[in-house]
A and B are shown apart, each in its own frame.
Chain A
Amino acid sequence: MSDAARKVILGTMLLATLALAACDREERDYRPDPAAERGKGAIVVSGGLYAGPSSPPSDDAYPEYTENAYHVAEGKRLFQWFNCVGCHSNGGGGMGPPLMDDQWIYGNAPANIYATITEGRPNGMPSFRQKIPEPQVWQLVAYVRSMSGLVRKDVAPGRNDDMNARPAEQSVSPLLQPPPPGAVPAPGDQPPASTGTR
């Protein structure tokens, strides 16, 4: 091809490379607007202090948290910092129920998990309202969902440098598939009989 045509093509390729290098993989929001956070998270109280049917699941998926690798990774850090591991271990449970299985007493929708963390639950789950700022609660919500395999693989937080107490969040273990419809009870249903993890 002609000299001029070659220069144009090479110049365009160079400009395209420079432009693409500026693309971020995802947005990292370090300062979620506190006023905007206030309206989120349907705080649904189950009524009464007994374990019962899950809170009504909400349709909101909160993708800015549950589909953002940075927020899931921050949730992983906070899970350690705020001593969630003290009762839940690294998802396997102990004093608290396991978080990496598909049994959810109060529902696995982000708003349900948000309500669990913020309000506390009977039999030992403390309430963290006003102790953990709302955006950080959402980060924890996103991480808890990742432990159960409910986030996309490319969004999972980085693997631990130290020994992993459970399968990595990016793993495709069959135990971590999203629960089939019916595993999470709709409001008004009887809770399913406990069958252990699949």
Chain B
Amino acid sequence: MTGGSQSALDPAGPFAGHILELFWLFTIVCAVVWLAVVAVLLAAIGRRRWAGDALPDPRPAPEAERRLGRVVGAAVALTVVILFGFLIASYLTDRQLLAGQQGETRTIHLTAHQWWWEISYEDGNPSRRVTTANELHLPVGEKIHIRLSSTDVIHSFWVPNLHGKQDLIPGVENHIYLQADEPGVWRGQCAEFCGFQHAHMALHVVVEDKDAFERWKAAQLQPAPEPAGDLEKRGRDVFLSGPCVMCHRISGTEAGATAGPDLTHLRSRGTIAAGTLPNTREHLAAWIADPQAIKPGNRMPLTRLEPGDLEALLAYLETLR
């Protein structure tokens, strides 16, 4: 799940599809206009040379002047018509996007932090709410309503295969609607400069069929299992007695802090550090040992771990699936 295309030219849902249609209309019409303008420009440059080196007569013949006037008038009229056409097309696309928002939706609350995404699946029953980080799972074909908020600075949610950009502004709740019509993994990223690690703030959208999605959600609702072996137990002690517990939450333990990402199902995700590294044991070890070397300035500090502790901690984190 570290791959995933990130392209607005490959829509995976109706919203991105409408936007892409508008994009092609603008691009093709403007390309034709541009080619016409360049052709006329080249003709104007070239004509002087054809007429020889003598300067053109500043008093052109009346017939040529009338013809030129008609041509310019026609071009201006055509420009106005094209611009009005763009306006109408843009308005119609907006209406299509708005129409797509109507109806029953599932609501997800996405909170942007510097520099990771907190994802919370809402539910009328509080015990069925799922909190995860950096990986958004969606069922195919369902309309999703995402409430966007931010805890610090302005970020922007951008998954080009599914929709355009929408800012997450502290103090304001924005909304975006998504619908993915084919299963797959798509990559998105933060699209508003938000600080030193803005470039390493990606998220992955995993779209799967309804059964797979419900299984995933049910698994995410489970608390972390009791560790079986001694090494894993020691790892849990390292986690709970060290700095980890000041920022991270593992459901099923006493760790309940919400400043950092929820780690209850850490190893079920495809990437760590908001898409910066693939989620493997080795990368996790490198991340824990020195997060500042990989993502300098991010909010996870260097922690002094004895070598044996790191081994135990990794064994414990391995059980968080």
Does A25 sit within 8 A of B, measured CB to CB?
no
Which of A29-37, A116-124, A164-172, A183-191 interfaces with chain B? A29-37
Which of B68-76, B241-249, B264-272 interfaces with chain A? B241-249
Cα-based distance from A132 to B242 in the complex (angstroms):
8
A residues 43-97 near B (Cβ < 8 Å) are 77, 81-82
Q: How far is the CB of A158 from chain B (nearest CB, A)?
A: 11
Q: How far is the CB of B72 from chain A (nearest CB, A)?
A: 43
Q: How large is the interface on A (under 10, 10 to 19, 20 to 34, 35 or more residues)?
A: 10 to 19
- The residue from A131, A135, A161 contacting B242, defined by CB atoms under 8 A apart: A131
Main secondary structure of the interface of A (DSSP, over half): loop
Contact B297 A135 (CB under 8 A): no
Cα-based distance from A9 to B197 in the complex (angstroms):
39
Cα-based distance from A31 to B301 in the complex (angstroms):
8
Does B98 sit within 8 A of A, measured CB to CB?
no
Q: How far is the CB of A78 from chain B (nearest CB, A)?
A: 9
B residues 284-321 near A (Cβ < 8 Å) are 290, 292-293, 296-297, 299, 301-304
Contact B296 A131 (CB under 8 A): no
Contact B293 A132 (CB under 8 A): no
B304: nearest chain-A partner, CB-CB: A34
Does A197 sit within 8 A of B, measured CB to CB?
no
A28: nearest chain-B partner, CB-CB: B297
7 A/B residue pairs, CB under 8 Å, sorted by A: A31-B293, A31-B302, A34-B302, A81-B247, A82-B246, A133-B301, A161-B171
Cα-based distance from A123 to B303 in the complex (angstroms):
29
A residues 1-47 near B (Cβ < 8 Å) are 28, 30-32, 34
By a CB distance below 8 angstroms, the chain B residues around A136 are 301
Cα-based distance from A130 to B309 in the complex (angstroms):
13
Contact B259 A130 (CB under 8 A): no
Known: A30-B292, A30-B297. A133 touches B304 (CB 8 A): yes
**Apart from the given pairs A34-B304, A161-B170, 5 other A-B contacts in the complex at a CB distance below 8 Å:** A30-B296, A31-B293, A32-B302, A130-B243, A133-B243
By a CB distance below 8 angstroms, the chain A residues around B292 are 30-31
By a CB distance below 8 angstroms, the chain A residues around B245 are 131
Q: How far is the CB of A70 from chain B (nearest CB, A)?
A: 9
A29: nearest chain-B partner, CB-CB: B292
Cα-based distance from A77 to B301 in the complex (angstroms):
13
Q: How far is the CB of B60 from chain A (nearest CB, A)?
A: 43
Cα-based distance from A15 to B259 in the complex (angstroms):
45
Cα-based distance from A132 to B247 in the complex (angstroms):
10
By a CB distance below 8 angstroms, the chain B residues around A77 are 299
The 4 nearest A-B residue pairs measured at CB: A31-B292, A30-B296, A30-B292, A81-B259
Q: How far is the CB of B301 from chain A (nearest CB, A)?
A: 5
B residues 228-271 near A (Cβ < 8 Å) are 241-243, 245-247, 259
Q: How far is the CB of A69 from chain B (nearest CB, A)?
A: 14
Contact B290 A130 (CB under 8 A): no
B305: nearest chain-A partner, CB-CB: A34
By a CB distance below 8 angstroms, the chain A residues around B246 are 81-82, 131-132
